[in-house]
Each structure stands twice: as structure tokens, then as C-alpha cells.
């Protein structure tokens, strides 16, 4: 920006409040620190990263547990969300979002939100399409943002379990990639964009991140290919979130309200 290459208003800057900063006053502190670190006056979209307030050390193993962990509580979450809303009021943040929510959790908090989430970040890739959550957000006017859009092949070992799907080697994705003379990664991005979510693929290689941008704007998938990918859903969650489990929880499924109500 200082070199005149890009103007602030041409960029969308997104950040998140970390899991151990949900307490009274902490959300504001957290945002102020991010603004200082980024040397910016405002953030375009600010997320609550996980719906569980919890500290775990970066890189900790999947079986590490915080003894203070608790199941989801709508009032606790809303206490953090009210601070998020104040960030919008002050102009420090333009829009706010939620991440790693479920339909029952959204149902529990949305009626009490003075400012509705503009976006919901969730795991979305061909082998894990979360149709119910996706449709719910679309109906509520909340933009779905899909993380791990290529199936996160380089995710930490703690998030790898036997039986996990590999999107970029899925026969349907490989076949469609061959038909388009494209990398399977491009097919994952095209599918996501055409379905209506915003994928956030990660890459450290210029060739890959440029290709990820370009493929979204050219050579679209046919309706038949979209249908084939829809049918390839394996309901295979990769980021299970074990470190958020509370004493007495049975397993990572408890974090995701699989039975249609908030697991306590
Ligand atoms: N909200 C949450 O709780 C949450 C959870 C998980 C992830 N996320 C975020 O979601 C984003 C993406 O997640 P992710 O990195 O785990 O998964 P991903 O985007 O599905 O996969 C990234 C991997 O795919 C490779 N890749 C990217 N573009 C490629 C291409 N065109 N051709 C071949 N390989 C390609 C990358 O390798 P190279 O770098 O070698 O290209 C990298 O190993 C990240 O920003 C992450 O922070 C959010």
C-alpha cells in the first residue's frame, strides 16, 4: 500500500478471534492487537474461530485436553458475539462471521444476534459437502466460506485418521479433471465456486495459487459434472476438533451435534 501498488479499499482483510479470547473485553483486545500487527485501521471480516472457548497450545497432539473445556453454551457464545457486534459499531470491523458452527448451534444463537453473521466458515470439499448446514446458511443470507477446499492434504497428523477421504484422488474428481485437462485441485475450486461457497484454498506456491484463482473464472463444470460431484459426497469430516472435547464427552462427534441437538 505504501508503494501505491494497491489501495486498502481494494483488499479484503479477514481475521479471527482466537479460542482463548472469548472472555469479557478479550474480543476487543484481540481485534486491537490484530489491527496493530497488520498496521490497519479496520478489518473487513472478523470471525469467531471456534464456538468453544478453550486454550490449547499450537501444534499440541490430538489427544491433548484442556480440563476447563465445556460443551457449547449459547449464553457464553453470545457474550463473545456481543463484543463482536460492538466492533462493528465502532467501525474497527466491517462485518462479522462465525466458524465451525452447526445448525443446532446457529438456531440457538441467531435469534439473539443484533448483527447477523455475514459469513459462516465451515469445512467444505467434494467428500464433505455438509448440504444441510450449507443450505441453512444460504436460506438465512449467511455466505458459506469453505475451508480445506481440496481436502487439506498437508493437514497436521493430529487431524489424520484411518479412512479419511482424499479428495484429489477421488475417482469422480480425477475423471472430471482429465476431461478438463486440469489438476484435481482446480476441479475442487470450480465445484465450490459454482455451488455458491467461497473456497479458501491455501498454497505457498505461486503457480498453484494463481491457478486456483484463474480456474474459478474459466472452463466451468457442466451441470452433469456438478451432479456427479454432488453424488460423490462421502460425509467425511477431516478437521474433527478433538482438542475441544470436554471431560465426559464420548468422542469428536459430540462437537458436531450429529443427532440434531446441541450435545451436552
Ligand atoms: N476455520 C477453521 O477451523 C479452519 C480449519 C482448517 C483450515 N482452515 C483454513 O482453510 C484454508 C485451507 O485449508 P488447508 O490448507 O488445510 O486445505 P486445502 O486448501 O484444502 O489444501 C491445501 C493443500 O493443497 C495444496 N494445493 C493448493 N493448491 C494446489 C494446486 N493448485 N495444485 C496442487 N496442490 C495444491 C497445497 O500445497 P502447496 O502449498 O504445495 O501448493 C496444500 O498442501 C487455510 O487458510 C486454513 O487456515 C480453517
Centre of ligand 1 to C-alpha 154, Å, is: 7
Strand partners, 73: none
**Is the CB of 205 within 6 Å of ligand 1?**
yes
The grid coordinates listed for 213 are 484463482
Cα 33 to the chain's mean position, in Å? 22
**What is the best residue among 177, 191, 200, 203 to mutate for testing ligand 1's pocket, by most ligand atoms within 8 Å of CB?**
203
Class of domain 8-256: alpha beta
Which contiguous run of DSSP H or E holds residue 79? Answer: helix 74-90
What residue spans define the domains of the chain?
A: 8-256
Task: Tell me how far the alpha carbon of residue 24 lies from the centroid of ligand 1, in angstroms.
Answer: 33
CA of residue 134 to ligand 1 center, whole Å: 20
| Minimum CA distance residue for ligand 1 atom 21 | 152
The per-residue pLDDT for range 176-235, each reduced to its tens digit, is: 999 999 999 999 999 999 999 999 999 999 999 999 999 999 999 999 999 999 999 999
- pLDDT tens digits for range 75-113: 999 999 999 999 999 999 999 999 999 999 999 999 999
Amino acid at each position: 500500500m505504501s508503494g501505491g501498488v494497491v489501495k486498502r479499499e481494494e483488499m479484503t482483510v479477514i481475521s479471527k478471534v482466537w479460542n482463548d479470547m472469548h472472555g469479557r473485553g478479550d474480543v476487543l483486545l484481540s481485534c486491537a492487537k490484530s489491527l496493530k500487527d497488520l498496521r490497519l485501521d479496520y478489518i473487513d471480516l472478523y470471525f469467531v474461530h471456534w464456538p468453544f472457548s478453550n486454550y490449547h497450545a499450537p501444534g499440541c497432539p490430538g489427544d491433548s485436553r484442556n480440563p476447563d473445556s465445556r460443551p457449547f453454551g449459547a449464553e457464553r457464545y453470545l457474550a463473545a458475539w456481543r463484543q463482536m457486534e460492538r466492533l462493528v459499531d465502532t467501525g474497527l470491523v466491517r462485518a462479522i462471521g462465525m466458524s465451525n458452527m452447526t445448525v443446532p448451534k446457529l438456531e440457538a444463537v441467531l435469534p439473539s444476534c443484533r448483527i447477523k453473521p455475514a459469513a459462516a466458515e465451515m469445512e467444505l470439499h467434494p467428500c464433505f459437502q455438509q448440504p444441510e448446514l450449507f443450505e441453512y446458511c444460504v436460506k438465512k443470507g449467511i455466505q458459506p466460506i469453505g475451508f480445506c477446499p481440496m481436502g487439506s492434504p498437508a493437514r497436521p497428523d493430529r487431524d489424520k485418521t484411518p479412512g479419511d477421504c482424499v479428495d484429489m484422488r477421488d475417482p469422480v474428481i480425477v475423471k472430471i479433471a482429465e476431461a478438463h485437462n486440469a489438476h484435481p485441485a482446480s476441479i475442487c475450486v470450480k465445484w465450490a465456486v459454482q455451488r455458491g461457497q467461497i473456497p479458501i484454498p491455501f498454497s505457498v506456491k505461486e503457480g498453484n495459487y494463481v491457478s486456483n484463482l484463474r480456474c474459478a473464472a474459466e472452463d466451468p463444470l457442466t451441470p452433469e459434472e456438478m451432479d456427479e460431484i454432488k453424488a460423490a459426497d462421502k460425509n467425511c469430516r477431516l478437521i474433527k476438533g478433538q482438542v475441544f472435547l470436554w471431560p465426559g464427552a464420548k468422542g469428536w462427534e459430540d462437537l458436531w451435534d450429529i443427532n440434531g441437538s446441541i450435545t451436552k
